[in-house]
């Protein structure tokens, strides 16, 4: 990424101009930079945006100047296709993503259509709120897709920005559920954070947990955790993969899939794609009620490249956030 001067964008008819206060750093940015996703180019990355409404387009009714709002990965959807009509706007063929198809929040200003911005609960600081908008919202969606019931065992593969929020939702909503956390071997600070947030068991990917998993969420960018999670999944269990793309380098591990060990007994695999507005609208008040305490490591806008390198190395504790203005 290069730092450049650009004109402040003008809000269209139903758009708001947002002065960006903070923007979260997400693994999806690495997928875009490394070519697994194809953004429009040039692009301003960033889809976990917290900012103040600075100016309204002529037909805006939902916000007033000064409101503190969040913008998430969903930047727009058509509103009329079969998927949109059924409440699955995340699957809309016209789905546009913030910081990929439309300019995002690694910037001082951005614009968005008012329907795709949400009021941020007062309880959160700007940098705390940023990771709620992707890591939090998509974590919430992934958890919903597992179908977890209270008292069941949940496995979390990877313990970064999203999983450290998911565990806080689980401990609040499902008090009798045991949560087992799997990290890369030797990821000490992730393991300590997991214990502090109430994990009932912590190990490395590949370890066999004390009980089988009724469901699991994989938030890693690689394949090994998928195979390992299927191995220790309970009969009839479900693995939800929360990743937009997987890296290729450990793909041969899939040849180890053995039908009887990993698949049979009605085990299921489901992916999570994008988010809907209602995911954000349901999750933000819940996050305030719990309240979720995102663990945040702050960077300046000028340090965005370094922040992404640390993220790639698995060295960010909790979630990385760019602090853009006060
Ligand atoms: Zn993201
Ligand atoms: Zn649609």
Closest to 64 in 3D by CA, of 16, 132, 124: 16
pLDDT at 314: 86
What Rg value do the Cα atoms of the chain yield, rounded? 19
Residue 275 Cα, ligand 2 centroid: separation in angstroms? 13
Residue 260 Cα, ligand 1 centroid: separation in angstroms? 35
Residue 91 Cα, ligand 2 centroid: separation in angstroms? 7
pLDDT at 311: 94
Please identify every stretch of the chain with a pLDDT value under 50, giving residue numbers as ranges: none
pLDDT at 296: 94
Residue 235 Cα, ligand 1 centroid: separation in angstroms? 31
Three-state helix/strand/coil letters over 83-140: HHHCCCHHHCCCCEEECCCECCCCCCEEEEEHHHCEECCCCCCHHHHHHHHCHHHHHH
> What's the half-sphere exposure (Cβ side, CA atoms, 13 Å) at 57?
19
Closest to 164 in 3D by CA, of 32, 297, 75: 297
Cβ burial of 176 (10 Å; 0-12, 13-18, 19+) is: exposed
Cis peptide before 42 (omega within 30 of 0): yes
Q: Tokens 């489901």: give the residue.
A: 270
Q: Which ligand is nearest to the CA of 161?
A: 1
Can you tell me the distance from the alpha carbon of 165 to that of 288, in angstroms, rounded to the nearest whole number?
12
Cis peptide before 21 (omega within 30 of 0): no
Beta strands 96-97 and 319-323 are unpaired
pLDDT at 318: 81
Q: Are 317 and 193 in contact (CB under 8 A)?
A: yes
Can you tell me the distance from the alpha carbon of 78 to that of 89, in angstroms, rounded to the nearest whole number?
8
Residue 75 Cα, ligand 2 centroid: separation in angstroms? 12
Q: Which ligand is nearest to the CA of 48?
A: 1
Can you tell me the distance from the alpha carbon of 267 to that of 260, in angstroms, rounded to the nearest whole number?
10
**C-alpha distances in angstroms, 141 versus 66, 146, 162, 247?**
29, 9, 11, 22
pLDDT at 301: 97
Residue 281 Cα, ligand 1 centroid: separation in angstroms? 17
In Å, the largest CA–CA distance within the chain is 61
- Tokens matching residue 49: 């945006």
Q: Which ligand is nearest to the CA of 274?
A: 1
Can you tell me the distance from the alpha carbon of 107 to that of 271, in angstroms, rounded to the nearest whole number?
31
Residue 93 Cα, ligand 2 centroid: separation in angstroms? 6
Q: Are 119 and 52 in contact (CB under 8 A)?
A: no
Can you tell me the distance from the alpha carbon of 163 to that of 261, in angstroms, rounded to the nearest whole number?
26
Ion ligand 1 — residues with CB < 5 Å: 26, 28, 134
Following DSSP, what letter does each residue of 172-196 receive, concatenated? Answer: HH-TT-EEEEEESTT-HHHHHHHHH
Residue 166 Cα, ligand 2 centroid: separation in angstroms? 28
């Amino acid at each position: 990424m290069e730092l450049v001067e650009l004109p402040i964008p003008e809000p269209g008819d139903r758009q708001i101009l947002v002065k960006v206060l903070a923007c979260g750093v997400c693994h999806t940015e690495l997928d875009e930079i490394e070519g697994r996703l194809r953004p429009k180019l040039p692009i301003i990355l960033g889809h976990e945006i917290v900012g103040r409404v600075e100016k309204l387009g002529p037909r805006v009714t939902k916000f007033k100047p000064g409101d503190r709002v969040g913008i998430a990965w969903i930047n727009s959807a058509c509103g009329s296709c079969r998927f949109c009509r059924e409440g699955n706007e995340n699957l809309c063929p016209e789905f546009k993503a913030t910081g990929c198809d439309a300019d995002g929040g690694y910037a001082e200003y951005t614009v968005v259509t008012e329907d795709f911005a949400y009021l941020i609960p007062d309880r959160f600081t700007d940098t705390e709120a940023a990771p709620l908008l992707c890591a939090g919202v998509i974590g919430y969606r992934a958890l919903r897709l597992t179908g977890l019931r209270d008292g069941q065992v949940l496995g979390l593969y990877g313990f970064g920005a999203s999983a450290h929020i998911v565990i806080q939702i689980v401990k609040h909503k499902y008090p009798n559920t045991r949560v087992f956390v799997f990290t890369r071997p030797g990821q000490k600070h992730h393991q300590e954070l997991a214990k502090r947030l109430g994990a009932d068991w912590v190990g490395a990917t590949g370890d066999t947990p004390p009980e089988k998993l009724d469901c699991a969420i994989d938030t890693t960018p690689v394949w090994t955790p998928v195979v390992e999670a299927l191995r220790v999944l309970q009969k009839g269990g479900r693995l939800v993969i929360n990743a937009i793309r997987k890296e290729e380098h450990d793909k041969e591990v899939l040849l180890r899939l053995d039908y009887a060990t990993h698949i049979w007994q009605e085990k299921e695999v489901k992916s999570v794609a994008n988010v809907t507005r209602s995911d954000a609208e349901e999750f933000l008040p819940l996050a305030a009620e719990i309240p979720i305490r995102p663990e945040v490591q702050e960077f300046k806008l000028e340090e965005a490249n370094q922040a992404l390198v640390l993220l790639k190395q698995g060295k960010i504790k909790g979630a990385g956030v760019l602090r853009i203005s006060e």
